[in-house]
Amino acid sequence: MRIEFPPFAPRTGPPASVRATFREEAGAAAPARTMTLGPAGAFAGGDRRLWEGLSEAERRTLSERAMRPDGGSGPAIPLALDGRAYRASLVRERGFPFRPTPRHPCGLDSSGRDVLARLVYGMRMSVSFGLLLVVTSMFVGTAVGAVQGFFGGRVDLTGQRLIEVWESIPFLYVLILLGSVYGPSFLLLLVVYGLFNWIGISYYMRGEYLRLRPLAFVEAARGLGAGSARIMFRHILPNALVPLITFFPFSLVSAIASLTGLDYLGFGLPPPTPSWGELFAQAQEHRWAWWLVLYPGLALFVVMLLCVFVGEGVREAFDPRRRERWE
């Protein structure tokens, strides 16, 4: 059992809103009816027919009670509404997660933290993780694919069999095992994910090197005495950048989505690290808190869309077909 002791400070003014609950004195079949009063004691949400059905004196009584610094705590107020006798009890609206307010436009999460601030810091964490992962994976995948495609033969065959064996290892199980031993962390997640994420790009780079190896400019470089490393990375690599440029934005989007999914499942970044997936997990626990789904979902969609647009712009900038001219 976890016991929390939140800080307390006595109020010097009325609360932002007070929820009024109406119950029948007979206490029978009819359910309780609620409405919300704003900081000025006026109607702010809920069952409007309740507010409109009250007399001016009853409205004034509720408003004065709601504007008290204690939030209207005290004995229930007897009221007559629609031919029935009610007792209205005022409860200060609190608890987390809390709906969006003018001071917190995206609401508060289950721990009372501002969702907008966690979205911004979560974006920084997700983009940093995606960039580091994609750059590392492309560097390793390019090196492995270049060696396989350039040398071919037994080197290529042995490398492919080893990659197939390595690819068959379940990534999620490895992450769970290492996370339970060493504890979840940003570095551990980056290293474990990077150990498996380079395999896809290595296939494409291997194919590019197999395609470019027998061309004339490679034979010319070999005839001039250039070494294997110089030919691979000085002559062939600039002509084999198509897979890297094409798949970079999609790999970045995939890395961000994977981090969000792992955080949602509880295998990602450790708390209290801000994360979009952790907000989605809170939304599953508090299904009525729609802002915990809407705003992280919009942020994830916008960031992914912008990453794809930036990648498309980079691809068009390096596209050699735009500089071709007919003679």
**CATH code, domain carrying 192:** 1.10.3720.10
197 domain residue, yes or no: yes
Give the Cα separation of 136 and 143 in Å (integer).
Answer: 11
Residue 218's pLDDT band, with cuts at 50, 70 and 90, is confident
Residues 71 and 153 in one domain: no
98 domain residue, yes or no: no
Place of tokens 């007559």: 80
Residues 132 and 270 in one domain: yes
Residues 168 and 262 in one domain: yes
Residue 2's pLDDT band, with cuts at 50, 70 and 90, is very low
Residues 88 and 153 in one domain: no
Residues 65 and 136 in one domain: no
4 domain residue, yes or no: no
Residues 200 and 299 in one domain: yes
108 domain residue, yes or no: no
DSSP, collapsed to helix, strand or coil, labels residue 156 as helix
Q: How many domains does the chain have?
A: 2
Please say whether the beta carbons of 226 and 150 come within 8 A. Answer: no
Residues 57 and 165 in one domain: no
Residues 150 and 80 in one domain: no
227 domain residue, yes or no: yes
pLDDT in tens, 296-314: 999 999 999 998 888 888 7
Beta-bridge mates of residue 263: none
Residues 147 and 264 in one domain: yes
CA 155 to the chain's CA centroid: 41
pLDDT in tens, 231-259: 888 888 888 888 888 888 889 999 999 99
The residue type at 280? F
pTM as predicted: 0.69
Please say whether the beta carbons of 99 and 107 come within 8 A. Answer: yes
* Token pair for 19: 């929820």
* pLDDT > 50? residue 1: no
pLDDT in tens, 168-196: 888 888 888 888 888 888 898 899 988 99
222 domain residue, yes or no: yes
Residues 146 and 214 in one domain: yes
Residues 249 and 148 in one domain: yes
Residues 174 and 54 in one domain: no
Boundary residue ending a domain (59, 92, 125): 92
3 domain residue, yes or no: no
Residue span of the structural domain in which 184 resides: 115-322
3-state secondary structure 88-154: EEEEECCCCCECCCCCCCCCECCCCCEHHHHHHHHHHHHHHHHHHHHHHHHHHHHHHHHHHHHHCHH
